[in-house]
Amino acid sequence: MPGWVSVNRGVRHHRSHIVRAIVIEKFGGPDSLVYTELPDPEPRTGDVVINIKAFGLNHAEMHMRRGEWAEAAEVSGIECVGLVTSCPGGEFPVGAKVAALMGGLGRTINGSYAEYTRAPASNVATIASDLPWAHLAVIPETYATAWTCLFRSLEIAPGETLVVRGATSAFGQAAVNLAVNAGVRVIGTSRDRRRFDLLEELGVDRAELEGPELSERIAEAKQLDAVLDLVGNSTILDSLAMLRRGGRACLAGWLGGLEPISDFNPLLQMASGVYLTFFGSFVFGKPGFPLSDVPLQEIAEQVAAGRLKAKPSRVFRFDDVREAHPVMEAGEAKGKMVVVLD
DSSP collapsed to 3 states, 248-302: EEEECCCCCCCCCCCCCCHHHHCCCCCEEEECCHHHCCCCCCCHHHCCHHHHHHH
Q: Give yes or no: residues 188 and 265 share one domain.
A: yes
* Helix extents (H) in the chain: 59-66, 133-136, 140-148, 170-181, 196-202, 236-241, 266-269, 296-304, 321-329
Crossing angle for the helix pair 140-148 and 170-181, to the nearest 10 degrees: 50
Q: Is the dihedral of CA 144, 146, 148, 151 positive or negative?
A: negative
pLDDT attached to residue 1: 37
Determine the pLDDT at residue 114: 97
- pLDDT, residue 270, reads 87
Whether 17 shows a pLDDT value over 80: the answer reads no
Q: pLDDT tens, 216-274?
A: 999 999 999 999 999 999 999 999 999 999 999 999 998 888 788 888 888 888 889 99
202 shares its domain with 275: yes
Residues 228, 179 share a domain: yes
Same domain, 127 and 155: no
149 and 108 in a common domain:
no
Whether residue 330 is found in the same domain as residue 278: no
Alpha-carbon span 283 to 298, nearest angstrom: 21
Amino acid present at 329: E
Cα(first)–Cα(last) distance of the chain, in Å? 15
Indicate the residue type of 68.
E
What is the domain range of residue 319?
A: 5-131+311-340
Report, as an integer, the average pLDDT of 50-61: 95
Angle at 187 between CA 272 and CA 282, to 5 degrees: 70
Residue 123: which CATH number? 3.90.180.10
Beta bridge pairs of residue 33: 24
CA 80 to CA 90: how far, in whole Å?
Answer: 20
> 12 Cβ partners below 8 Å, 6+ apart?
none
pLDDT for 292-341, tens place per residue?
A: 999 999 999 999 999 998 899 999 999 999 999 999 989 888 899 999 99
Question: Does one domain contain both 122 and 151?
Answer: no
pLDDT of 263 = 87
Record the pTM. Answer: 0.91
Instruction: Let me know whether 12 and 97 are in one domain.
Output: yes
Is residue 46 in some structural domain?
yes
Q: Is residue 155 part of a domain?
A: yes
9 vs 268, residue with greater confidence: 268
pLDDT score for 15: 46
Assess whether 114 and 192 both reside in one domain: no
- Boundary (domain end) residue, out of 264, 282, 300: 282
Residues 192 and 277 grouped into a single domain: yes
CATH of the domain at 200: 3.40.50.720
Is 290 a domain residue? no
How many folded domains does the chain comprise? 2
- Give domain status of residue 291, yes or no: no
For 137-182, write each residue's pLDDT tens digit. Answer: 999 999 999 999 999 999 999 999 999 999 999 999 999 999 999 9
Whether 336 and 232 share a structural domain: no
Instruction: Round to whole Å and give the CA distance between 59 and 74.
Output: 17
Give the distance, in angstroms, between the CA of residue 250 and the centroid of all CA atoms in the same chain: 15
pLDDT at 70: 74
Q: What is the band of 3 on the pLDDT scale with cuts at 50, 70, 90?
A: very low
Q: Is 332 inside a domain boundary?
A: yes
- pLDDT tens digits, 60-116: 999 999 998 778 999 999 999 999 999 999 999 999 999 999 999 999 999 999 999
Distance CA 28, CA 68 (A): 10
